[in-house]
Amino acid sequence: MSASITKEMLVAHVGKTVVFNDKLEDLETTYAEVGMKAIVSGIDFNIHNDDPTDNTTVVHVIHVNYEPFEETNHLLMKANYYDKSGVPRLTALEAGWYKKRDTLYLSGFPEQIPFQIAE
């Protein structure tokens, strides 16, 4: 059984170029695709305790910069945004959702980080 990721593991990625992997589904909001690259520009941690049973939720706030890799990343974008006809044929860029700098949210402590340092 794998151990959960830790704050230190995420902080080690700050300032590094990363490649997104198949654990992207762990991110709450992203248009990144497997293989896309970004620079992790910062990590914040928010703790929420909205649950009356006193369960605490940790949210990792990951700041990324896609700009240095736009040309390659645009080629990896999938058409999974809906057009006016209700057909998923637009990429995040075409749908107007793409941002050169973005914030990603990772809740809890999953077993694997959704990116790794690029080689």
C-beta pairs of 87-92 under 8 Å, 24+ apart in sequence: 92/31
Specify whether the CB–CB gap between 31 and 58 falls below 8 A.
no
In the structure, what pLDDT confidence band is assigned to residue 1 with cuts at 50, 70 and 90? very low
Coil vs helix vs strand at 60: strand
Q: Does the pTM exceed 0.85?
A: no
Collapsed DSSP state (helix, strand, coil) of residue 118: coil
Mean pLDDT throughout 48-69? 77
DSSP 8-state assignment for residue 5: P
Does residue 48 carry a pLDDT above 90?
A: no
pLDDT of 25 reads 79
